[in-house]
Amino acid sequence: MSKLVIVGSVAFDAIETPFGKTDKILGGAATYIGLSASHFNVDSSIVSVVGGEFPQEYLDLLSNKNIDLSGIEIIKDGKTFFWSGLYHNDMNSRDTLITELNTLADFNPIVPENYRDAEIVMLGNLHPIVQSSVLDQMTTKPKLVILDTMNFWMDSALEDLHNVIKRIDVITINDEEARQLTGEYSLVVAAQKIHKMGPKYVVIKKGEHGALLFHNDNIFSAPALPLAEVFDPTGAGDTFAGGFAGYLAQTGDISFENMKNAIIYGSALASFCVEKFGTERIQNLSKDEVHERLLTFKKLTQFEIELT
């Protein structure tokens, strides 16, 4: 069984959408990545930090999914990272209402000893220096390092971001961020430029329009599942990344052909994530439901053309 190290936030979220609002609920990039990856046969460990008020119930939820939590530092007199956001009617844009970094502000990630030889490392969205620090701790060169990031770090820590991007194999980024990072409108040209920064594989997430995987001249296009209702998009990108990383860790096959499948698994899991608030849907998801959704993705995209 492959080991998967996941670094990222474990947090409280408060979410408001046109369909309703939540109190402080379980959130954070590493949470979504871990829950999503837990649908695969992998040995995952989350590296993160929370405050003393973080409920044991949430930690139990994660460890019940067989996620190792020895890399989650609990700072007794600290508070957990808190994010609050408001989604607009089209669900494609949101306002951040509150960001309280709290313990995440001075997060010094420590990868547990027995995960420093992990085959797959998933660097969730965090300060690029924190992401680099995780790579520094690996005693064996990982088979695959995947990085997720966002425009915030391009604005505030571009040089650090470039330094970590040099060291990774796969970047997952959304379309606007790919354009910002490269100054190119065409996603094909943007991906070419990102290849030159280091990553051999570039995954561009396009929300309701799916995702593109680039590897040199090879391109794979995965759709998003067209949905009658998007209830809450929070965590969809992280769920996608967790499915992608989890599937690759389970299969141990990091070829382009298998990454296509990983993209489809990630997309399928993300399509569940948005059906309910927060982690609710992704934490209560049966194998049968996942299989059925994968068949839906097949029907959605596969065609049998005869070249006449």
Residues lying near its own copies in the complex (CB under 8 A) are found at 89-91, 185-189, 192, 206, 209-210, 212, 218-221, 223, 226-230, 250, 257, 260-261, 264-265, 291, 294-295, 298-308
Minimum CB separation of residue 146 from its own copies in Å reads 19
Output 89 or 286, the one with its CB closest to its own copies.
89
Output 47 or 91, the one with its CB closest to its own copies.
91
Output 153 or 297, the one with its CB closest to its own copies.
297
Output 76 or 299, the one with its CB closest to its own copies.
299
Minimum CB separation of residue 61 from its own copies in Å reads 25
HSE on the CB side for 33, CA within 13 Å?
31
Minimum CB separation of residue 112 from its own copies in Å reads 28
Minimum CB separation of residue 261 from its own copies in Å reads 5
Structure tokens at 18: 């046109």
Minimum CB separation of residue 229 from its own copies in Å reads 6
Q: From the CB of residue 221, how many other CB atoms can be counted at a distance below 10 Å?
A: 14
Output 21 or 298, the one with its CB closest to its own copies.
298
Minimum CB separation of residue 193 from its own copies in Å reads 11
Output 165 or 259, the one with its CB closest to its own copies.
259
